[in-house]
Amino acid sequence: SPTKHVVFMALAAILVATIMIVAARQAERSRRDGAHRGPKGIANVVEAFVLFLRDEVALANIGHGGERFVPFVVTLFFFILFTNLLGLLPWGSTATGNISVTAALAIMSFVAIEVAGMMSLGAKGYLGTIFYAPHGMHPVGRALMMAIMTPVEFLGKFTKPFALAIRLFANMNAGHFIILALIGLILLAMQTASVAAVSLVGPLVMAVMIMILELFVAFLQAYVFAMLTSVFIGLIRHAH
């Protein structure tokens, strides 16, 4: 049977698709009617996010030719954001707190990064990102540097998706652990017969504050994942 994480990932995908389709139709209707103002309501919010991700995240970091990667970056952001937010609901589940989920997202980013490099650099240029030796050196020095740098460059390709997976996984779990610990303190205090009301206030206030921080982290981690993916694509496409 599907796990709770699978169910909430499917729910996040359905929500993202629904909101995007509705927002796109409203924006198209507004343009078709010749309205001078943008779409209203949720479509206006979605459009603001999409424009920010396109201009300040994807195109700013990928550079020339980055338009083709904008849909992928936008999809990553909204899917991760919705999975993060669904985990904050009562009886919810944070799928991005599962290392298998974050690893799958990182692998998709890894494929996009490497394919972007192959398309932009060609076969010879792409191999140069693995078999690297500085120019202008003596042939013996170049051979020695290539022997040293090639394993480093090859491993460097895998450290990027590893960092993406671990960063998202660790950050989404850290806040949940703190909240669970504070709730545990509240329950422990409630079991004590002589507990004073003031002893419950501290952990309760801290749990609420951490929950608010978790809301901020949900947006931040979705942004960081999308931004780093854009940065890595830009790095492999434009060596300079």
Which two three-digit tokens encode residue 57? 């995240």
Which two three-digit tokens encode residue 118? 């192959």
Distance CA 187, CA 204 (A): 10
Q: For residue 207, what pLDDT is reported?
A: 72
Q: Which residues of the chain have pLDDT under 50?
A: none
Taking the CA of residue 121 as centre, how many other CA atoms within 13 Å lie in the half-sphere pointing to its CB? 22
- Nearest residue to 24 (alpha-carbon basis) of 58, 59, 50: 50
Q: For residue 186, what pLDDT is reported?
A: 73
Q: For residue 37, what pLDDT is reported?
A: 64
| pLDDT tens string 12-51 | 999 999 999 988 888 888 777 776 566 677 888 898 999 9
Distance CA 156, CA 158 (A): 5
Distance CA 175, CA 144 (A): 47
